[in-house]
Amino acid sequence: MKWVLVAGVLALLALPAVLSSYALTLFILIFFYGFLGQAWNIVGGYAGQLSAGHAAFVGVGGYTATMLSIELGLTPWVGMLIGGVLAALLGAIIGYLGFRFGLRGFYFVLLTVAFAEICRVAVSNIDALGGPLGLYITFTGNPRQFQFQDGRVYYYIALALMLVATLTAWAIERRRFGIYLAAIREDEAAAEALGVNAFKYKMLAMVVSSFLTGLGGTFYAFYLFSLQPNTLFGIPLSVEIIIRPIVGGAGTLLGPILGSFILTPLAEISRLYLGQGGLHGAHLIAYGVLLIGVVLFLPEGVYPRLRRALARRSGQTR
C-alpha cells in the first residue's frame, strides 16, 4: 500500500506536463478542497466534533494575509502563517466555549455556524476590509506576492498543502493523540473514565484543524484574487469542506482526498452542462442526491467500503 501511495504522488508530480489548462485548474481545485477536507477531518472525523463553520477559518486566513500585503507590504508567504495563527486562536475560542460547556452534536454545529456568521456580518460592515463588496487583489505576477504567471505553480502549491495536511493527519493517527481522539469520538464518557483528558485533546484537534484551514485562506485569496465576505465566510463553503470527508470517509486518512476526487469534478461538470440551461445551483442538487445515496448505501463513506472490497478480493486471489 505504501508503494502504491508513493507511485501515486510521483504520478501527480509529473501530471502537469500533459494537462490542458482546464484540467490543470480542475486538479488545483481537487487538491485544495482535499486539503480543506483533510484539515476538517482532524476535528470532525478523528475527534467526531462536527464543525459546520470552518469557512470562518478560511476567511480569517485569507483576509489577514491580504490586508498585511496591502497595508504593510508583507509577503503573503509570511502572512499565511500569521493568518493560520489567528485562525487557530479563533478555533481555540470556539473550542473552549463548546467543549468547556459540553456542547455536542447539533449544539456544537450551531455554535460553529454562529461564529462563522458573526465573522461574515462583522467583515461586511468594516469598510477597511472592503465592506460587503470585499477586496480585490491586483495581479502582478510577482512570486513574492504569491502570484505566478504559470498555473502549474499553483498546482504544486495546492498539492503540497494537501500532502502536508495528510501527513499531519497520518502523524496524529499513528500516535497516542489519534487513539485518544478515536476513543473520544466513539464514547467520550468511557474515554474520560479511563483517564483521557477529553477537553485537552479536543482543543488540540480544533487548534490544529483551524490552523491548517487558515493556511488555505491565503491560497484561496491569491489564487482567485478576490475576497467577498458572503462567499468566504458563508455556509456553502463550510458545506463544500465538510461534504468531501463525509462522502470519502470521515475519520480515515484517504477519505477526504477520495471525496474531493469524486465531488470536485462532479461540481465542475454540473456547472458546465447544467448551469448553461439556466438551472442555477444544479451542482447542489447533485450533491444532495449523492449524499442521500451515501447515507443510505455507504454510511461510513466510499473509502472504507472500497478498502474492504480490495482486501476481500486480495484474500480470494491468494
Is residue 38 within 8 A of residue 162, CB to CB? The reply is yes
Largest CA distance in the chain: 66
pLDDT at 44: 94
The tens digit of pLDDT for each residue in 291-306 reads 788 778 888 888 888 8
* Residue range 147-163: mean pLDDT, rounded: 94
Residues 6+ apart with CB under 8 A from 156: 13, 16
Share of the chain above pLDDT 90, in %: 65
pLDDT at 89: 97
The tens digit of pLDDT for each residue in 106-128 reads 899 999 999 999 999 999 999 99
pLDDT at 157: 96
Task: Write out the three cell numbers for 294.
Answer: 451515501
User: Three-class SS of residue 234?
Assistant: coil
Stretch among 30-39, 167-176, 208-217, 276-285 having the lowest mean pLDDT: 276-285
pLDDT at 197: 94
pLDDT band at 170 (very low <50, low <70, confident <90, very high): very high
Domains of the chain by residue range: 22-234
Is the pLDDT at 277 greater than 60? The verdict is no
The tens digit of pLDDT for each residue in 248-261 reads 999 999 999 999 99
pLDDT at 156: 95
Is residue 46 within 8 A of residue 205, CB to CB? The reply is yes
Helix ranges (H only) for 19-150 are: 21-41, 55-72, 76-100, 106-124
Summary mean pLDDT of the chain: 89
For cell 471525496, name the residue. 259
pLDDT at 278: 57
Helix ranges (H only) for the chain are: 2-14, 21-41, 55-72, 76-100, 106-124, 151-173, 176-186, 188-193, 198-224, 229-232, 235-248, 255-273, 282-297, 302-317
Is residue 79 within 8 A of residue 64, CB to CB? The reply is yes
Residues 6+ apart with CB under 8 A from 298: 305
pTM of the entire structure? Answer: 0.92
Residues 6+ apart with CB under 8 A from 52: 109, 112, 113, 116, 235, 238, 239, 242
- Give the Cα separation of 286 and 268 in Å (integer): 11
- Give the Cα separation of 254 and 238 in Å (integer): 20
The tens digit of pLDDT for each residue in 222-236 reads 999 989 999 899 998
Residues constituting the chain: 318
pLDDT at 276: 59
For the ranges 84-93, 129-138, 139-148, the maximum mean pLDDT occurs at: 84-93
pLDDT at 305: 85
pLDDT band at 60 (very low <50, low <70, confident <90, very high): very high
Phi, psi of 128 (to 5 degrees): -65, -25
pLDDT at 315: 67
